[in-house]
């Protein structure tokens, strides 16, 4: 331990090391959430369906202790199948906006659809290029898409929440063919939820009227996606929190001096964990959000 501490001190006193550290830090600041979403990459390593959406559970009353990773992957496939089943313009081009790891697009290709994908996420594009080399892609933000093509179907599956709403409507209207569909599946803020970065349900409905799009299908699937939150909440409360407590107590017993010196850091980290995990509380989610599956038509 003293050898490690000595090495750290030497690095702090070495001007060459400090300059290199600053240069490294500046390079790392190029990271953007849309370009390299680390959380989505983490999820994709756990779930092997190549789909990053929450999934669709037919059994909405399933107990959280009975949910397995296999159940979640099956629910993700069912979710994708629901989207595919709503496509009516079979012979026209499809654009999957915010395509994740390409799972939905791959399903569409297997069924004979002509599909292209779009994501600004560099890691996802590299994965798609390697696993689905015949899948045409756009590595840009949806708002920045520049194409003369017309699409019979545009899909935004859990991706509309990351796009400016006004620009999303304008872009979709521009690239949709006459009679084309916009399939949307996403969570929307309801009631007094004031989160600035999320879709507002009332605002979204007003945009539909403003752009004179027709709602041809709508289903509230809030309770169908909720089992995933139950599953995540179970593992956080029964495994993650107890593990954190165990490691802190272990540190206290083995290295009391280090426990004391890292007290502020650990407290800050714990607050961060509590804030992040609050978003997967199923009881909180169902009071603040509605999850909607909607098909809009351009007349």
CA distances from 224 to 188, 221, 296 (A): 15, 5, 21
65, pLDDT greater than 50 = yes
Which region, left, alpha or beta, applies to residue 102 given φ > 0 means left and ψ of -120 to 50 means alpha? left
Dihedral pair phi/psi, residue 166, rounded to 5°:
-60, -45
Look up the pTM and report it.
0.80
- Domain 64-223+289-297: top CATH class: alpha beta
So where are the chain's domains? 64-223+289-297, 226-284
Residue range 118-142, pLDDT digits in tens: 999 888 899 899 999 999 999 999 9
Cross-strand partners of 193: none
Residue range 89-118, pLDDT digits in tens: 889 999 999 998 899 999 999 999 999 999
271, pLDDT greater than 90 = no
Which region, left, alpha or beta, applies to residue 212 given φ > 0 means left and ψ of -120 to 50 means alpha? left
């Amino acid at each position: 331990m003293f050898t490690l501490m000595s090495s750290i001190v030497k690095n702090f006193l070495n001007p060459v090391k400090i300059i290199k550290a600053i240069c490294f830090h500046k390079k790392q600041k190029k990271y953007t959430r849309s370009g390299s979403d680390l959380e989505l990459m983490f999820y994709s390593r756990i779930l092997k369906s190549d789909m990053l959406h929450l999934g669709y559970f037919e059994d909405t009353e399933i107990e959280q202790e009975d949910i397995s990773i296999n159940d979640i992957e099956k629910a993700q496939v069912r979710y994708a199948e629901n989207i595919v089943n709503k496509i009516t313009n079979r012979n026209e081009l499809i654009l999957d906006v915010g395509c994740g790891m390409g799972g939905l697009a791959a399903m569409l290709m297997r069924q004979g659809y002509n599909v292209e994908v779009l994501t600004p996420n560099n890691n996802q594009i590299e994965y798609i290029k390697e696993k689905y080399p015949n899948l045409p892609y756009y590595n840009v933000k949806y708002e920045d898409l520049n194409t003369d093509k017309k699409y019979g179907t545009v899909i935004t599956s859990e991706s509309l929440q990351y796009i400016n709403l006004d620009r999303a409507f304008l872009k979709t209207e521009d690239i949709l063919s006459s009679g084309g569909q916009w399939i949307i599946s996403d969570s929307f803020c309801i009631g007094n939820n004031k989160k600035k970065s999320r879709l507002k349900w009332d605002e979204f409905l007003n945009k539909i009227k403003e752009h004179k799009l027709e709602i041809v299908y709508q289903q509230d699937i809030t309770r169908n996606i909720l089992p995933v939150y139950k599953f995540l909440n179970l593992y956080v409360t029964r495994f993650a929190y107890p593990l954190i407590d165990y490691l802190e107590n272990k540190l206290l017993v083995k290295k009391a001096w280090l426990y004391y010196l890292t007290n502020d850091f650990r407290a800050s980290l714990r607050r961060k964990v509590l804030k992040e995990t609050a978003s997967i509380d199923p009881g909180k989610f169902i009071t603040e959000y509605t999850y909607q599956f909607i098909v809009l038509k351009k007349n």
